[in-house]
Amino acid sequence: MAEERGNGAGGVLVAFTLGALVGAVVALLLAPAKGEETRELIGEKAREGAQKTREFLKQQRETLSSAVERGREAYQAAREKEQA
């Protein structure tokens, strides 16, 4: 099913990470600042990226958990139907 939609969750996470890195580099190149300011900016963007990654992973775990539960329910329903 993941193949039908493209790269799946792993591809999205990689694309997000690369996009964040490229954005940070472009921002630094276009708006140079003092070393301390630059380190602050990099730290802030890293924290934002980490938070977004945690949120994404939490959502993916919830989606997977829901899919597993639906699979269990379908299995039980099929088993009960076969036994009847």
Sign of torsion over alpha carbons 33, 38, 44, 50: positive
- Rounded to whole angstroms, the Cα distance separating 59 from 56 reads 5
Question: Scanning the structure block, which residue is given the tokens 């977004």?
Answer: 52
Distance (Å, rounded) from C-alpha 71 to C-alpha 69? 5
pTM of the model: 0.52
pLDDT per residue as tens digits for the range 5-47: 455 767 787 788 888 888 877 777 777 667 788 788 888 988 9
Residue 2: per-residue pLDDT: 43
Q: Where are the domains of the chain?
A: 2-83
